[in-house]
Amino acid sequence: MLPEPYDLLPTTARQSHTIAAGDVLFRQGARTLGLYVLITGRVHLERVGPNGERLIIHRATSGTSFAEASVFSERYHCDAIVMDAGELVRIDKSAVLAAFANPDFARAYGRHAAQQVQAHRQIMGIVGIRRAEDRVMAGIVAGLLDGTVVDFAARLQLTHEATYRALRALVEAGRVTNPSRGTYRLA
């Protein structure tokens, strides 16, 4: 099933596609068709600077949507390139725009978007903390350590080595417990 709020859209608005590494979903400047929900695989959004510099705007991961802003725009403003094969759903721009007439969808969309903005702001604040130990502690307090430590480290923009070391230091300082290999909790 699709993640909120796109599950509220009529099935006619969706198109499933299998994707292979190297596929180009769209190019900067192309007319927008809609947004995408990545089911499995990996997709990079890249923008090419005026002098040919490639800048990765976003790395889409399983279960997340991307190119949401294309719904409100005539042209894509970046390239979407498949890194790992998988599956995705394209959601019609016009269907989304029409769905805003449905207050239930509109509110679900609003809630989802507001929460995402909130989450981003929080992570940005945490990533701004310089000391690895403080950053990791803040990440734990914020509840960001749900999956693997490797994922956690990536979210904190730290190497996993630095993250493991910080976790160890926090455990030794008694601020965090390490009940079992790979699991850490607030003391």
Partner DNA sequence: GGCAGCATATGATTGAAATCATATTCCAGA
Partner DNA sequence: TCTGGAATATGATTTCAATCATATGCTGCC
Residues that bind a copy of itself (CB under 8 A): 47, 49-51, 53, 55-59, 68-69, 71-72, 97, 100-101, 103, 106-107, 109-111, 113-118, 120-128, 137-138, 141-142, 157, 175, 186-187
CA distance 148 to 155: 11
Measured from the CB atom, is 18 or 157 closer to DNA? Answer: 157
121 to 140: interface string for DNA, x by CB under 7 A: ---------xxxx-------
CA distance 101 to 32: 21
37 in contact with DNA (CB under 7 A): no
CA distances from 52 to 37, 67, 88 (A): 28, 22, 29
Largest CA distance in the chain: 56
Q: Which of 159, 177, 185, 187 binds DNA (CB under 7 A)?
A: 159
150 in contact with DNA (CB under 7 A): yes
Sign of CA dihedral 37, 18, 84, 153: positive
Measured from the CB atom, is 61 or 118 closer to DNA? Answer: 61
Pick one of a copy of itself, DNA, none as the site partner of residue 150 (Cβ within 5 to 8 A by kind): DNA
Radius of gyration of the chain (CA): 19
